[in-house]
Chains A and B, each alone.
Chain A
Amino acid sequence: DGGITQSPKYLFRKEGQNVTLSCEQNLNHDAMYWYRQDPGQGLRLIYYSQIVNDFQKGDIAEGYSVSREKKESFPLTVTSAQKNPTAFYLCASTALLAGGPGEQFFGPGTRLTVL
């Protein structure tokens, strides 16, 4: 089955610890994205990558870091510099087609709680 997997589904960390969220896709999509969602709000873009070894900051990149060493993988690290990291984190991917980006598919998300 093709799709996007995120792990773990729930994650608890102590304040001051860095934590890395996993995102893997086997859709052969070029572009991958990380979003954050807080209760009652829409998704806000953290980072995105259109090609291996390249990525761009989204609207709320401070306190986060990413890497894109492989096309299939786009891990997100929530650092201790992120002031309010408790949130629902969603990874997405898209094929970059000649006519423009294709449909954006989402993983099931990771709920991070910082205690």
Chain B
Amino acid sequence: RKEVEQDPGPFNVPEGATVAFNCTYSNSASQSFFWYRQDCRKEPKLLMSVYSSGNEDGRFTAQLNRASQYISLLIRDSKLSDSATYLCVGRTNAGKSTFGDGTTLTVKP
């Protein structure tokens, strides 16, 4: 079993749709969690950190449930520019990050 597991998708949604991605982790040493966005053939870029209290950044909402070892990302009012691969990441306090394989999102007109 992988340390960080994501539904690979692909998710194909129309513009304006709401889409949710889920991620589970198994390494209890992971203390910090993040969602990264990766465009085709590019490096990953930080989308947002994930906190137990939940956090929102515009159309994006992330949530962490430590008891269930579960992380989520919600995207509201999807835009064409949201099309990308979204990577779930768990990180230890020593800075060692473990990435999920990514969930691919395609937003269509």
A108–B43 CB distance below 8 A:
yes
Given A96-B95, A101-B95, A106-B45 contact (CB < 8 Å): yes
Q: Are B95 and A31 in contact (CB under 8 A)?
A: yes
| A40 proximal to B (CB < 8 A) | yes
B96 interface contact, C-beta 8 A: yes
Q: How large is the interface on B (under 10, 10 to 19, 20 to 34, 35 or more residues)?
A: 20 to 34
User: B98: which A residues are within 8 A, CB to CB?
Assistant: 45
| Contact in complex: B43, A90 (CB < 8 Å) | yes
A41, B101: Cβ atoms closer than 8 Å: yes
Contact of B97 among A45, A88, A100 (CB under 8 A): A45
**Chain A residues near B100 (CB-CB < 8 A):** 42
- Are A45 and B42 touching (Cβ within 8 A)? no
Q: A42-B101, A42-B102, A100-B31 are in contact. Are A106 and B43 (CB under 8 A)?
A: yes
Taking the nearest CB of chain B, how far is it from the CB of A99, in angstroms? Answer: 10
Contact A42 B43 (CB under 8 A): no
CB of B44 closer than 8 Å to a CB of A = yes
**4 nearest A-B pairs in the assembled complex, by CB-CB distance:** A42-B99, A101-B95, A106-B43, A42-B101
Residues of A within 8 A of B (CB): 31, 33, 35, 40-45, 48, 50, 58, 88, 90, 94, 96, 100-101, 103-104, 106-109
